[in-house]
């Protein structure tokens, strides 16, 4: 049994069956919106998994009626957290927002994510960083940041590379459009659509667990290397987010436009 099960977390729960670990986002009252606490706890689990030689696969899911409704803006905008968020964007290494997604590419076992309800913003970027994505037919997806006048900054330049075509990714990020599970499957945002995604994930995890764990690890490492980008791409995510948050008049208008579609944007500020 994994040593992870001896730990207690505030925003996630863990369970294990036959060397398959299930990580459940557990803030159903907040639609599993990602708080800084949840990010830290997910990173802690992944760091422990990097050293774990027994767990053969990981399944990530969400409690309640929604997988993940994005970042918890109330938590992020709390004065006690605002400076921390700014520091994360300014520091030269991966921000906590990037690491909570990209670290799942680094763990030595496959990671399968199952979604339902809504998978938007941070939830979508977390899903793209996992090895497989299985969803219910009624789930809706969006890369939502543009709706708020922001840019995806949670490792999308790494996780979406070679998962979806560049023009598709641009369309989804620029429009912030909600799409259905069926369209997400057609666009390769998800691997499978299934009425029982968790059962499908368990079956896939058990099938993979029947192979050599070293061969599985090697496959993940070799194929991920095909999609590895330089740190410059991650830096661009942070640089542009800082620009939009710090000096973007249109960003403030985007927040207003989310409630009142008659709001008009100013001319482009940046070049």
Closest residue by Cα to residue 93 from 266, 268, 231: 231
Half-sphere exposure of 140 (CA within 13 A, CB side): 9
Task: Write out the two tokens for 27.
Answer: 């803030």
Whether the CB-CB separation of 104 and 133 falls below 8 Å is answered with no
Domain span at residue 182 reads 12-215
In a domain, 248, yes or no: no
Write the pLDDT tens digit of every residue in 45-70.
999 999 999 999 999 999 999 999 99
Q: Which two tokens stand for residue 237?
A: 């995510």
Evaluated on CA atoms 168, 170, 174, 176, the torsion sign reads positive
Under 8 Å between Cβ of 157 and 229 = yes
Q: For 168-198, how does the pLDDT look when each residue is reduced to its tens digit (9 = 90+)?
A: 999 999 999 999 999 999 999 999 999 999 9
CATH number at residue 107: 3.90.226.10
User: Would 110 be classed as within a structural domain?
Assistant: yes
Task: Tell me the C-alpha distance between 220 and 236, whole Å.
Answer: 26
Tell me if 239 is assigned to some domain: no
pLDDT, the chain, mean: 94
**pLDDT given at position 7:** 84
Q: What DSSP state is assigned to residue 71?
A: B
Q: Is 23 within a domain?
A: yes
The number of distinct structural domains making up the chain is 1
Residue 246 maps to a domain: no
Q: What is the pLDDT of residues 245-270, one digit of tens each?
A: 887 789 999 989 989 999 999 999 88
90/96 Cα distance (integer angstroms): 11
| 199-240: pLDDT as tens digits | 999 999 999 999 999 999 999 999 999 877 777 888 899 999
Per the CB < 8 A criterion, the answer to whether 128 and 104 are in contact is: no
């Amino acid at each position: 049994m994994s040593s992870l099960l001896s730990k207690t977390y505030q925003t996630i729960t863990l369970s294990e069956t036959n060397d398959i670990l299930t990580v459940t986002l557990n803030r159903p009252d907040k639609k599993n919106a990602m708080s800084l606490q949840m990010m830290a706890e997910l990173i802690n689990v992944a760091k422990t998994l990097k050293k774990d030689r027994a767990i053969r696969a990981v399944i990530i899911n969400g409690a309640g009626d929604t997988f993940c409704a994005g970042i918890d803006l109330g938590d992020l905008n709390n004065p006690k957290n605002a400076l921390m968020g700014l520091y994360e964007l300014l520091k030269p290494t991966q921000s906590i927002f990037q690491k909570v997604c990209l670290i799942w590419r680094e763990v030595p076992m496959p990671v399968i994510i199952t979604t339902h309800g809504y998978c938007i913003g941070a939830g979508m970027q977390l899903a793209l960083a996992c090895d497989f994505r299985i969803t219910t037919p009624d789930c809706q997806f969006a890369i939502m940041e543009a709706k708020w006048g922001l840019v995806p900054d949670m490792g999308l330049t790494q996780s979406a590379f070679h998962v979806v075509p560049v023009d598709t990714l641009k369309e989804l990020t620029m429009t912030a459009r909600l799409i259905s599970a069926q369209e997400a499957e057609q666009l390769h945002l998800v691997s499978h659509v299934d009425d029982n995604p968790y059962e499908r994930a368990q079956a896939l995890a058990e099938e993979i667990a029947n192979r050599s764990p070293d061969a599985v690890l090697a496959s993940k490492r070799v194929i991920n290397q095909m999609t590895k980008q330089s740190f410059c791409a991650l830096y661009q995510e942070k640089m542009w987010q800082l620009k939009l948050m710090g000096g973007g008049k249109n960003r403030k208008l985007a927040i207003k436009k989310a409630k009142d579609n008659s709001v008009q944007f100013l001319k482009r500020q940046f070049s």
